[in-house]
Amino acid sequence: MPCMVKTTQIEVATQGHCHIVDVTDAVRDALGRLGPVDSGTVVLFHVGSTGALTTIEYEPGLVKHDINAALERIAPAAGHYEHEKTWHDDNGHAHVRASLLGPSLTVPVVDGQLALGTWQQIVLIDFDTRPRRRSIVCQVIT
């Protein structure tokens, strides 16, 4: 049987500065719009170079403190970035952080459901220094 790919987009408003948005329900809604899907794969891709997709346990300590603190140690906001010298802006750390986590995520679909753990959510993290409207391309492959 040939492979089928269906595509939609998820739009998300973000605040910048390591704003973490739980997009799990939006991905489930997109799966429903593109379905029905009994088994397959959902591929998510964040369009842009200062945001990333990953999975986490979406709870206050991790969301509000731990991720930002860890990334601040790796790529500090007040660090020196050649990107800022080149473009005369203030978001070099955002580009580095986004590249470390990456723009895409793949989630299996099993029995019509995203194969996520009990405490696992899909999140978009916006590392930029200002609010933005973010777009995630969502493809379902069956």
Q: What whole-number distance in Å separates Cα of residue 57 and Cα of residue 120?
A: 5
Q: Could you tell me the residue range of the domain that residue 100 belongs to?
A: 5-141
Mean pLDDT computed over 94-122: 97
CATH of the domain at 73: 2.60.120.460
Q: How confident is the model at residue 63 (pLDDT cuts 50, 70, 90)?
A: confident
Six token digits for residue 40: 């397959």
Give pLDDT tens digits for 14-45: 999 999 999 999 999 999 999 889 999 999 99
Number of domains comprising the chain: 1
What Rg value do the Cα atoms of the chain yield, rounded? 16
For the chain, the average pLDDT equals: 95
Lowest-pLDDT range of 15-19, 32-36, 89-93, 119-123: 32-36
Burial class (CB in 10 A: 0-12, 13-18, 19+), 28: middle
Mean pLDDT computed over 50-65: 90
CB atoms closer than 10 angstroms to residue 29: 14
What phi and psi values does residue 10 have, to the nearest 5 degrees?
-115, 125
Q: How confident is the model at residue 100 (pLDDT cuts 50, 70, 90)?
A: very high
The better pLDDT of the pair 36, 94 is held by 94
What phi and psi values does residue 70 have, to the nearest 5 degrees?
-65, -45
Per cent of the chain over pLDDT 90 is 87
On the CB side of 61, CA atoms within 13 Å amount to 0
Indicate whether 1 pLDDT > 80.
no
ω into 36 cis (within 30 of 0): yes
